Amino acid sequence: GDRCSGKMGPTNGSSEGQLHGNNEEQPDIFMPYQKLYIYHTKFCFLIVGYCRVRKRYALLEIVRQDGQDLQARERVCSCNLGEINTILRQAHVDTQDVGGLQFVTKAYGIIGCIRFTSGFYLLIVTRKAHMGSIRGHKVYRVDGVALLPLGAAAGVSQQQDTPEERRYRKLLMGVDLTKGFYFSFTYHLAATLQYNYQAGLAGAYAAAAASTSSQKQGQFSSSGPGPGFASSAFSSADFDSMFVWNSFLTRALRGALNSNLWVVALVHGFWDQRQLSVFGRPMTLTVLARRSRHFAGTRFKKRGISDQGKVANEVETEQILDAGIDYRTGLPLISSLVQLRGSVPLYWSQQTSALSPKPEIILQN
């Protein structure tokens, strides 16, 4: 891993995969990195994170190894473009005799870092689709993912690629993450609008995140931020929410870094947003459903309550109606209706049968 430790300072090395961007200084704001540039050498992965609000870069290093413990550290937490390119050039020079620094891919977030039987994998978002916004905070759907092996070999080594490893890898990639998985860089989708408003987790970046959110005299924008919608980095408690689908997948990386800025919190469920007009007044109606990650499964196979007190297929549905800004008070005119549903909290099950269109309910315990 020491071969990856590039030094700060000017070098005359080549700049393969050099980044380009804005070096302008910005005040300190904490939010997940919206763009990731992933490189690798024979010894480690180097991930450059870019925050477009702060216009600052950070560098994450993950050592390539097949052990049980993830070796990851944030080498640089805040620097400009020139400093990042200097580190990358030095890493290329230091490892040039074994292939040097190679660009892997661009990503929009890390879904998780997980180990099955040998070695870790990095699950990343490679494509995203803009679905709408809540008070100026953009919401995206996952449109493409990739699984990167972090083992010592360049790919999945033959001696480590056991039948069990292949089976678990197939199970993970069998989940279609391009259907019904949503995230936001500046809004805590796993929590209700009321929680975000009161906790101040939704809005300080809206002016920079949505160029159309600024108010003009005589006009209002239903997508703009309102007073009380202030944002900050998600805490560990937020990632432990029952509605953060990838809570377990991110636990190893969050624990190694003691930070949540390198991962995105995914919500599994439903999203739809429509623009309405009521007596000439424009409004935005949003329906967001969050599915619990606990005791989830297909119909008839998951029923009742688990030994941990989690009911099957628990879903929280939130309807948000945004009517813009009240000119008299300057406060947002926004309401939220939250409904929670789940299986009957008893120990019961149903056995499906082609001969029985209505399976009998079997009470247990």
CB neighbours of residue 10 within 10 Å: 9
pLDDT confidence of residue 303? 78
pLDDT higher than threshold 90 for residue 77 = no
What are the residues whose beta carbons fall under 8 Å from the beta carbon of 26, sequence distance 6 or more? Answer: 53, 54, 55, 56
- Report the Cα–Cα distance between both ends of the chain, in Å, rounded: 54
pLDDT confidence of residue 94? 92
**Residue 53 DSSP label:** T
Q: How far is CA 321 from the centre of its chain?
A: 25
What are the residues whose beta carbons fall under 8 Å from the beta carbon of 3, sequence distance 6 or more? Answer: 41, 42, 43, 44, 94, 95, 98
User: Mean pLDDT, to the nearest integer, of 280-306?
Assistant: 86
**Residue 4 DSSP label:** G
Higher pLDDT, 209 or 69: 69
SS3 track for 7-52: CCCCCCCCCCCCCCCCCCCCCCCCCCCCEEEEEECCCEEEEEEEEC
pLDDT confidence of residue 308? 83
User: Mean pLDDT, to the nearest integer, of 190-212?
Assistant: 63
Q: How confident is the model at residue 153 (pLDDT cuts 50, 70, 90)?
A: low
What are the residues whose beta carbons fall under 8 Å from the beta carbon of 130, sequence distance 6 or more? Answer: 138, 139, 140
pLDDT confidence of residue 28? 39
pLDDT higher than threshold 60 for residue 89 = yes
pLDDT confidence of residue 309? 83
pLDDT higher than threshold 60 for residue 1 = no
Higher pLDDT, 9 or 166: 166
CB 282 within 8 A of CB 222: yes
pLDDT higher than threshold 70 for residue 209 = no
What percent of the chain lies above the pLDDT cut of 90? 46
Distances in Å between the Cα of 58 and the Cα atoms of 146, 301, 347 are: 22, 45, 49
Q: How confident is the model at residue 200 (pLDDT cuts 50, 70, 90)?
A: low
User: Does the CA dihedral 344-347-353-356 come out positive or negative?
Assistant: negative
What is the per-residue burial (b if ≥16 Cβ within 10 Å, else e) of 177-213?
Answer: beebbbbbbbbbbbbbbebbbeeebbbbbbebbbeeb
When mean pLDDT is compared across 4-8, 117-121, 259-263, 340-344, the lowest value belongs to 4-8
User: Mean pLDDT, to the nearest integer, of 10-19?
Assistant: 42
pLDDT confidence of residue 183? 95
CB 114 within 8 A of CB 124: no
pLDDT confidence of residue 356? 61
For the CA atoms of 232, 237, 238, 241, the dihedral, rounded to the nearest 10 degrees, stands at -170
Across the chain, what does the average pLDDT equal? 80
Cα(139)–Cα(143) distance, integer angstroms: 13
Q: pLDDT digits over 244-284, tens only? A: 999 999 999 999 998 889 999 999 999 999 999 999 899 99
When mean pLDDT is compared across 80-94, 266-280, 301-315, 331-345, the lowest value belongs to 301-315
pLDDT confidence of residue 231? 53
pLDDT confidence of residue 224? 45
Higher pLDDT, 119 or 143: 143
Higher pLDDT, 246 or 300: 246
pLDDT higher than threshold 50 for residue 317 = yes
